Structure 1
Amino acid sequence: MPNDLTNHPAFRPLLPSLLAAATCAIPVTAAADPAPFELTGPDLRIEVTRGEKTLPIAKVPSLAAGDKVVVEGAFSEDQGANFVLVSAFLRGATNPPPKDWIDIARTWKSKEKDKALTLTVPKGARQLVLLLVPETGGAEGALVDAVRGKPGEFVRASQDLNQASLDHSRLIAFMAAIRAQDDNGPEYLRTVAPTLASSLSVKLQADCLSKVIEQQASCLVQNRESLVLSDVHSSSIADTLTGTPTDLALQLSATREGGAGYYSAYIGVARDIARIFGAFSNPSFNYLPTLSVRNDDTMSLLLNAAPSFQKPKSVMVTALPAIEADIPPQLRSTAKGPVCAAQAGAVLPVEGAPLVFSTQFAHAMQVRLTSAAGQVLEVAAMPRAEKGGYRLAAESLPAAFTGTVRAHLHGLWGFAGFEGPDFVLQRPDGSAWKVAGQGQDAADGMIVGRDNDVQLEGSAPSCVEEVTLRQGNGAATPLKWRTVQDNRIAVTVPLEGARPGDMRIEVRYQGAKDPVAVTLRARAEASRLDALELHAGDTHASLSGQRLDQVRTLMVGDVEFRPDGLTREGAVDRLRLTAQGTGHAPEQGDAAKAIVKLEDGRSLPMQVRVGPPRPQVSLLNRTVNPAAVAKGARTLDLGAAGDLLPDTGELVFSVKAGAGMKLGPLDTVEIAAAEGESVVRLSAGKGLTLESPEVLVARLKGADIPAGTFGPLRFRLLRGGDTAGDWQPLATLVRLPGIEDVVCEGEECTITARSLFLVDAVGADAGFAKAATVPPGYTGSALKVPRPADGALYVRLRDAPGTAVKLPVG
């Protein structure tokens, strides 16, 4: 590709605005709307051979040195004018092509060698343009001189015509799909149109969907010159490979300068090209830009002005694909979980490459299915823009491919291999659904009078269409449910006002006539009080039992405790209670009677023994010792506060005993994630040092924390092996990317690093007003970010999204 300003990544999103209708005879004004490319021009038949493989032009995204290109006219039998076909390879704006890079064919001749062009792409060529002109009577030399005299103008025209034709293909695909829906089911436009717009990166006229059905389709295809937005892949392959956010490209293209308004994304007025072609104006020729519509081996030309067959004759200028490497786009999965393949025509949702829907560049697409037993099956896949992905062509799959099946989308991009994303498919295998942890306790675990959470285990949860509840011969009631694992769904069963007894949860698969029923028993249960955990000096207590949702208050001595959160662990309720007021609670060791008042007015007594006071400590100091950074690597400045602990570093912290409390060698410190059980226990000689009876110093190494732990950490003191203090925040455990280099050029910097997926965003300031975001699951090793103003970039880690980390630049 040419090394000029038009190919700079920052400039490429603006290129679509450069193409237009222009003839040297009609001046272009700033406010004039361009004529659309609606005139049908001639057809050309083109095939490209690379090695031993031949493809029609519609499947060729780019040419390569050594390719054999055959071009011939495809005129109707009643064609009344003879056309001269001129081909010219270009090699840069400042490097005129040699004469033998320009060939001429006279399409009306009878001999194949005279009427068709048989070209071999020479080494060093970057573009290939075609000129089609009515029979000139030997004046073709003027065309050759024009190309060799000002090659840069044709280089520019080639780039813009190619870009415009790709954008135009997306517009045509959008309009065709909208019109098809209008014919077959206009009521579906409200759901189809947004999917189409997303698939093809087309600007959707959202207000059209609020109109009456009969007017929606015509509204959606109005003002079509402003429909198409810039496509990240077609406008800059380099941007795609280095992770430029798709939404940024779309926002650029929504501006007037980037393609909106009368700077249409595919037929915007090319004031530059008007001047370019005007420079060639002579009594014999004027130049007419054309868009190309490719279908198999036919390339049809579209004109925005009627050609002239008398002097000055019109030279129709069109471009073939650029001469560059076949680099497939990054096609990404948009599936939020397993995809259901229970019925024919399952769709694998994708995004990131609109051209797969509007061109034939991606072809021979297949999905490689791998069953749980390791069997492999290849299934053809067809792009469906209105569905937002690739549709499996198979009407049915073998019985072996049930349950959970791995799927990989792949095919060809031009002559190159094209590897798409991976998916997980699910198909029901005919097995019954059951309550997770099947047993009488699980099946009888529902209680009337409240909402019950039930987990059901079965095959292909992604294929579940509806879950209902039925009691006896009563009507079915829809239930709220969600997928929680590859083989489980969580169902909320509301039993307020229900009667005890057998109930059926009915699970219906997509396309299935009859549901699968799971029988459960709902029973009434009065509050059962098992135990009360209370320590001297506590302001909260924990009550365990069943039906604790009926507890209103609990009195111990003259202290009133009220409910402050109910959780369920298996068949046991745990109710947290918080003390109200300043009453006096019993002392340690006292045996007291607690009175529990229920919502229905009843009072239930229970015995309670007050435990020893919980150990009270406070965080005194902390220091983070980061691991040594490899030679040449960049260091992230995590700050001096000790809030962030790298998983490769060490945290040294000290705690101070509360008033009247003495620390001893048997005390231990537990470290845990924000939620869940402790992950590290520090004891004397094993990470814990007693500085004095009042202070403990602890050393926590990131390597000692189990893999998979990250985010906020908390700590508590444990005395005597069973009396624990309250959890307190400690630090945030973060995983750091291995930053190898930062290179800044112009207004951009490029970060090279390992594990960039650990980064959420990189900004030029601590407020992240100008920031480059990293998409989830990003596997690249480079990221383009804005250049900082103060010599440092700011990094937001996924493990600590609330903290800005400094990355010095320089």
Structure 2
Amino acid sequence: MSLRLCRWLAALAVLSITSAQAATPAPFDLKGPTLEVTVSRDKTTLPIAQVPHLAEGDKLWIKADFPASQSEHYLLVLNFLRGPTNPPPKDWFFKCETWKKACAEKGMTVTVPEGAQQALIFLAPEDGGDFKTLVNAVRGRPGAFVRSTQDLNQATLDRSRLERYLASIRDLNAANPAVLKDTTPLLARSLGIKVDEKCLDRLPQLQAPCLMQGQETLILNDGHSMSIVEALTTGPASDLVMAASSTPQANYGYYSPYLSSLLDLGRLFDSFRVANYQYIPALATALKNKLTLTLNTPPSFQNPKSVLVAALPAVEQALPPPLHAVSPKDIYCARKDSLVLPVEGAPLVFATEYAHNTVLRVAGKNGEVIELPATADATQGGFLIDTSSLGTASLADRFRGSLHGYWGFDKFDGPGFQLVNTHSQAWAPASQDDGSLIVGRANTIHLQTGSVACIDRIMVKDPTGKELRVDWSPVKANEVEINLPLQQAQPGALTLFVSQFGSSEPHPVELRAYPEAGRFESFTMHEGESHGVLKGSRLADVASLSVKSVEFVPAAAISNPESDQLRMEVKPPETTDASNTPAPSLQQGDTAKAKVTLHDGRSYNVNVAVAAPRPRVELVGKSVQIASGGNSSNIQLASENQLPQDAQLIFSVRAKSPAIFSREANIEVASSDEALSTTLSFANRTLTLADSKVAVATFDPTKAFGFSAFGPLKYRVVNKGVAGDWQPLVTLVRLPVLKDLECPADPAQSCKLTGANLFLVDSVASNAEFKEPVAVPVGFPGRALPVPRPSKSGLYLKLRDDPSVVNLAALVVDEPPPPAPADATPAPVPTQEPVTASTPPAPISNP
């Protein structure tokens, strides 16, 4: 193999790898020529921007808008297709020589032929055989060009949504970046755009750049535009939409096939290349009667010359926009100056001019039909209704309105909405709020009436006549929540004034404020816990607290009535099954309201603050490291939950909340009564990270607690000063030292166990089931202990520090030689009380 061939193959391999990694096609950012296009049907003529579909018999007028300085001559060709397997006849190709006066000034008018399904526009550089070559290319591969119309239409429709989204973000950011957080979700819902919600948590100045990242994957699947594209073809080519939307780039159907369509366009048009011509796609952006072509490849005027290809709307039946109300049950005020009716389901209504002459149609009392201009506004998430013409209209108190308009040449009917007119109605506080107004703090009440949709503003006058503006928000169709700033108000009568749109006089509502009987500042709890802390004054008067249907009661009698904190716990169920105790469904950041009820029956509202979950870990594993010198106690501990006092415990924990350990985290180990405690931390080298989620702790009980510590130990994690719940760890046990076990030859006699610190033994038995145990007296001072004769498996005992576990004494029975003949003198019987299960043995003195 020659050196030149080797180099060529190496270069080819590098090129293949580079091509495989380039998953994103070149962007369509080159501005191309502009065409003027109108469509006439019957006696109506529409600009191309308002035409989503063509129909047989439509008259198309097309004119190329080239500058006077245009030096390269372009041949304008309009071609109709009739499916992937049926080549179009030659008389379905219409040409216009744009460099000649007739075409340059008048363009060309073409009637959509019967049987046509798709339409393509070609702009080809002038060449002797340009028209014939183009006709033969299309007739030779009709399916490929049908598929190109599908890709071009899908990409154009999706790109229109993306461009409208990006332009709106830029405009909003330039005008007032602070509104992006509230406006972007409405914009995304209207246009079917996926928004990274983390962007909205950034500073306002940084939100816009973040919201415009990853443009190719912002567009979500839109069933309406997909339906339009799917109708373009039949047979195998109709599978393109599903194939495109199932690519990894398109998130397997969740995102639109925009990116995949661009990839297919590049591969498809590359296959059209011949010696004289190469075909490059152009996306046609419609604005009124202008079609602006956008390219992703610079055109070439040398062989192979570039032929620009753009798609016109498909020839098919109209598919009206599937608009529906966001909240069909909501009620809207017809007297608002800027009435917005939220709709969704048809992003093309907001991204294109296909929907036009849209109105909200309502009926007056006398049957008069009133049409109010409606404008689709993606930034407000619906249609903006001009209600100025309702100033003198006679309307019912409640009525319905519906959207109507044109989708291209065809009428369409949109969703209906419930509307109310401003009218006189009674206003009254909810019964649970009566008598709950307390001066000296902010108060929240609920005002009820027939409908709150037309409220314009609410203000209050205190007994001194001082006017206070209040914050309010509707919570139901007939109820509004009002926050009254009564921190500086005086006790006595209060008057609320409720103003409505279209009404000149506010409606007064009489209330009364009482002197402060108790102040309740806040109720704070951690996410996932069933208790919290109520802060305020005179907390001894509190009987209960309820939040989201869960009732809390004081944890215990208040020892200090002047305390400013009260622990509240979820009221246990009436059944004895504690597992049925309800858990509040509150998460960090929730801003709920709690109702505090006093013993005298009065109730007050208090803000609920839900803090982050307290740190939590789970035990992964643990091991006991015996001190050097081995197990001198001769006791085999039967449970891994027992920790000898002179041993080390090494245990590992996995972070659960938060998910990783911070450098400020440490672990506290304490006795059950917390009289003894120690801290294991990274600083004192008793805590080591195995990885970001698992930490290994080393605990030395003797160094931490001394020699008199014993009993259950617990641990908890502490992170940044916030402590988690205690969890059981091990039981610390002090071990007696067992030295010898001597048993006489007579099986009826008990054995003798010798050792040190035998007072640490709770009881002894001869079997693992611990039947008929022998209890050791508390504080037993002896060094020898009478014990039952062990079974074949050994002698068993329980430790005083953990009597719940049966352990094995690792001693070999020292039996005396067989007894002497019958004339031998028997051994004296020890003078001690018989050993029974209920009577502890008397101590045996050391031999």
Identify the TM-score tier after normalising by the shorter chain. Answer: 0.5 to 0.7
Give CA deviations for 1:629-673 in whole Å, capped at 9, x if unaligned.
xxxxxxxxxxxxxxxxxxxxxxxxxxxxxxxxxxxxxxxxxxxxx
> Which of 412-421 and 263-272 deviates more?
263-272
1:318 to 300, 310, 321: 310
Mark the CA change 1:35 to 1:207 in structure 2 (over 3 Å): closer, same or farther. same
What are the residue-to-residue correspondences of 1:527-566 with 2, within 5 Å?
Answer: none
Aligned mates of 1:579, 1:178 — CA distance in 2: 56
Amino acid at match of 1:298: K
Residue 283 (structure 1) aligns with: 275
Report the Cα offset of residue 292 of structure 1: 0.8
Q: Measure, in 2, the Cα distance between the counterparts of 1:208 and 1:320.
A: 37
Q: Per-residue deviation at 1:496?
A: 13
**2:328 paired with 1:345:** no
Asked whether the equivalents of residues 150 and 229 of structure 2 are also in contact (C-alpha less than 8 Å), the reply is no
> Residue 110 of structure 1: CA displacement?
1.4
Report runs of 4+ in structure 1 exceeding 6 Å deviation. 25-28, 252-255, 260-264, 442-445, 447-454, 490-500, 510-514, 550-553, 578-581
Instruction: Establish whether residue 199 from structure 1 lines up as the match of residue 193 from structure 2.
Output: no
| Cα shift at 1:210 | 2.8
Question: Quick one: distance in 2 between partners of 1:254 and 1:206?
Answer: 25
Contact 1:483 1:490 (8 Å CA) reproduced: yes
1:120 corresponds to 2:150? no
Q: 1:235 to 1:465 in 2, by over 3 A?
A: farther
Q: Deviations over 1:67-123 (max 9, x none)?
A: 111112111222222110112111111111111111111111112499733221122
Name the CA distance, whole Å, in 2 between partners of 1:272 and 1:454.
59
Q: CA deviation at 1:380?
A: 1.0
**Given the alignment, which residue of 15, 20, 23 partners 1:30?**
20
- Give 1:138 shift: 3.2
1-structure distance, mates of 2:251, 2:511: 60
Aligned counterpart for 1:292 among listed residues 260, 264, 284: 284
Q: Is residue 448–residue 497 contact of structure 1 (8 Å, CA) maintained in 2?
A: no
Rounded Cα–Cα distance in structure 1 between residues aligned with 2:201 and 2:489: 42
Post-superposition CA distance 1:484-517 (Å, at most 9, x none): 556x657799999999853323324479998532
- What is the RMSD computed on CA atoms of the aligned residues? 4.5
**Equivalents in 2 of 1:89, 1:123: separation in Å?**
10
- Aligned to 2:205, the other structure's residue is in SS state helix
| 8 Å Cα contact 2:39/2:45 also seen in 1 | yes
Opposite residue 92 of structure 1, the aligned amino acid is G
Q: How far 1:275 moved relative to its partner?
A: 4.0
Question: What residue number does 1:87 align with?
Answer: 78
Local SS of the residue matching 2:391? coil
Q: Which residue of 2 aligns with 1:302?
A: 294
Deviation at 1:135, TM superposition (A): 1.0
Which residue pairs with 1:43 in the alignment?
34
Which residue is 1:216 aligned to? 207
Residues 269 and 409 from structure 1, CA distance in 2 versus in 1: closer, same or farther, beyond 3 angstroms? closer
Unpaired segments of 5 or more residues in structure 1?
Answer: 1-24, 241-248, 525-549, 554-561, 563-577, 582-597, 602-810
Q: Is the 8 A contact 2:221 2:254 kept in 1?
A: no
Residue type at the aligned position of 1:423: F
- Cα distance, 1:199 vs structure 2: 0.8
Say which SS state the counterpart of residue 509 (structure 2) adopts. Answer: strand
> 1:30 is paired with a residue of what secondary structure?
helix
Structure 1 counterpart of 2:402, from 397, 401, 408: 408
Shift, 1:467, TM fit: 6.6
What does residue 428 of structure 1 align with?
422
Other-structure match for 1:171: 162
CA contact (8 A) 2:118 2:315 kept: yes
List gaps (5 residues or longer) in structure 2.
Answer: 1-14, 232-240, 516-540, 545-552, 554-572, 577-597, 602-847
Distance in 2 separating the partners of 1:73 and 1:222: 35
Count of residue pairs the alignment pairs up: 500
Structure of greater relative contact order (alpha carbons < 8 Å, 6+ residues apart) = 1
Deviation at 1:360, TM superposition (A): 0.5
SS in 1 for 2:207: helix
How big is the shift at 1:397? Answer: 2.6
Residue 235 of structure 1, CA deviation: 0.8
Distance 1:83 1:258 in 2: 36
C-alpha distance in structure 1 between counterparts of 2:282 and 2:229, whole Å: 26
Answer yes or no: is the 8 Å Cα contact 1:225–1:262 preserved in 2. no
For 1:206 and 1:551, locate their aligned partners in 2 and report how far apart those are by CA, in whole Å.
41
Whether the 8 Å CA contact 1:167–1:230 is kept in 2: the answer is no
Q: Which residue of 2 aligns with 1:398?
A: 391
8 Å contact from structure 1 (residues 60, 414) kept in 2: yes
Which residue among 21, 46, 65 is the counterpart of 1:55? Answer: 46
SS in 2 for 1:124: coil
Show the counterpart of 1:328. 320
Structure-2 separation of matches of 1:99 and 1:26: 40
| Number of the residue aligned with 2:362 | 369
Partner of 2:175: 184
Q: Is residue 427–residue 460 contact of structure 1 (8 Å, CA) maintained in 2?
A: no
Partner SS, residue 317 of structure 1: strand
Worse-superposed segment, 112-121 or 318-327:
112-121
CA distance in 1, matches of 2:365, 2:491: 41
Q: Which amino acid aligns with 1:312?
A: P
1:357 aligned to which of 328, 350, 357:
350
Distance 1:310 1:228 in 2: 37
Could you tell me how far apart the structure 1 residues matched to 2:373 and 2:17 are?
51
Partner residue, 1:71: 62
For 2:75 and 2:353, the matched residues in 1 are separated by: 28
1:387 to 361, 365, 380: 380
**1:134 to 2:125 alignment:** yes
Please give the per-residue CA displacement for 1:366-397, whole angstroms capped at 9, x wherever unaligned.
11122355443111111110000111234453
Which amino acid in structure 1 is aligned with residue 369 of structure 2? V
Alpha carbons 2:437, 2:514 under 8 Å: kept: yes
Alignment of 1:433-444 (within 5 A): 433-435=426-428
Q: In the alignment, residue 404 of structure 2 is paired with which amino acid?
A: H
Q: What is the distance in 2 between the residues matched to 1:279 and 1:136?
A: 21
Q: Out of 85-94 and 253-262, give the one that drifted further.
A: 253-262
Give, in whole Å, the separation in 2 of the partners of 1:309 and 1:421. 52
Whole-angstrom distance in 1 between the partners of 2:139 and 2:308: 17
1:98 equivalenced with 2:92 (yes/no): no
Aligned to 2:153: 162
> Would the aligned equivalents of 1:147 and 1:154 in 2 still touch at CA under 8 Å?
yes
Name the counterpart of 1:417. 411
TM-aligned CA deviation for residue 461 of structure 1: 3.5
| C-alpha spacing 1:231/1:489, structure 2 compared with 1 (3 Å) | same
Residues 335-372 of structure 1, C-alpha deviations (whole Å, 9 max, x = no match): 45112344422111110000011100000111112235
> Is the 1:256–1:262 contact (alpha carbons within 8 Å) kept by the matching residues of 2?
no
Identify the residue that residue 779 of structure 1 maps to in structure 2.
none
Deviation by residue 1:160-218 (Cα, 9 ceiling, x = unmatched):
10010011111111111111112211111111112111110112133332333323223
Matched residue SS, 2:338 = coil
Amino acid across the alignment from 1:421: P
User: What's the TM-score once normalised by structure 1's chain length?
Assistant: 0.54
Partners of 1:134 and 1:238 lie apart in 2 by 29
How far residue 457 of structure 1 moved from its aligned partner, in angstroms, is 3.3
Equivalent position amino acid for 1:162 in 2: N
SS in 2 for 1:177: helix
| Partner amino acid, structure 1, of 2:508 | A
Deviations, residues 124-183 of structure 1 (Å, cap 9, x unaligned): 211011111111123321110000000000000001100100111111111111111122
Q: Deviations over 1:229-260 (max 9, x none)?
A: 222200125999xxxxxxxx99x969734269
Q: Distance in 2 between matches of 1:523 and 1:120?
A: 81
Matches within 5 A, 1:652-691: none
CA distance in 1, matches of 2:372, 2:143: 46
Cα pair 1:291 1:302 within 8 Å, conserved: yes
Distance 2:283 2:171 in 1: 24
Q: Deviations over 1:713-748 (max 9, x none)?
A: xxxxxxxxxxxxxxxxxxxxxxxxxxxxxxxxxxxx
Counterparts of 1:92 and 1:41, CA distance in 2: 28
Q: Does the alignment pair 1:256 with 2:248? A: yes
